[in-house]
Amino acid sequence: MEFPKSLIVVVGPTAVGKTAMAIALAKHYQTSIISADSRQFYSEMSIGTAKPSAQELHEAPHYFINSHSISDDYSAGDFEREALMQVDKLFVHTDKVVVVGGSGLFVRALCEGLDDLPKAPDEIREALNAALERDGLPALQDRLRAIDPDNYDQMDHDNPQRVVRALEVYEATGKPISYYQKNQKSKRDFNIITVGLNTDRALLYDRINKRVDLMMQEGLLEEVKNLIPYRNKPALLTVGYAELFDYLDGKISLEQAVDSIKQNSRRYAKRQITWFKKYGDTTWFEPNQREDIIKFIDSKTNK
């Protein structure tokens, strides 16, 4: 069914140029941007999340950037509820709204709704978190790979929170989390046009490496130091933060931490590409194909 309103969803790997494209599209269609990045919500996390600059935020209205504190617990379900409310408000004045993000779970929450996953007893979660602290993430990754090998490579298995969540579902039910992910879409009363950005792998990896170097020059280490009181929050158990906490703990050198950020960012980008290639009806473009993307969107919206 075609609806009069459309979400233009810009997805793709980290550092590919999603922010610039989203701003260009928002300016062209005179509309606003909803961020579906799972870390850019938090006002205390800026450098390590590659948050849009002050100038970029000024170029188009943005929502869900600096909207919450790291001290808050903010889930994909919370985002789904709040983002749908914001989309409804924006659609009063415009036919199109741009969504941008590399967090597959949060994009899916807004566009489709989330699966109704079983809730595990607190003791299971506590035991798994204790195992994470005692044995480290690789041990839990091995368990998850053995439980759900077909789904393992599609998951964000470098994110401790996601690994623990998948394991607790299995421990509570005896079935892997993929069993419950039926991909049943919730009804949405707007069209969804998903534009994927991708480019040559070597070029993308070079952009990632340079971005990490720039983050360090801009003060990422100081940002991480200021976040030490919140270091066990899920948003900080991620690339760019976890490695520098290891450095501050004396586990690795600063050079090793920076190299690990680059390597883990490249691995994350590869998983993002894999995930979004299997997600929905995504049409792919190079980051510099702005005019082609606009023509594609117009053909989908009959404008």
Q: Exposure string (b/e) for 223-255, b if CB count within 10 Å is 16 or more? A: bbeebeebeebbbbbbbbbbbbbebeeeebeee
Q: Is 31 annotated as a binding residue?
A: no
Q: Does 136 show up as a binding residue in the annotation? A: no
Q: Is 150 exposed, middle or buried (0-12, 13-18, 19+ CB in 10 A)?
A: exposed
Q: Enter the tokens of residue 221.
A: 């280490």
CA 2 vs. chain centroid, Å, equals 28
Q: 33 has which bridge partners? A: 62, 98
Neighbours of 184 (CB within 10 A): 9
* Under 8 Å between Cβ of 208 and 273: no
The answer to the question of whether 18 is labelled as a binding residue is yes
Please state the separation of Cα 288 from the chain's center in Å. 22
Residue list, annotated binding site: 12-19
Q: Which amino acids are annotated as binding site for ATP, given as ranges?
A: 12-19
Positions at the binding site for substrate: 14-19
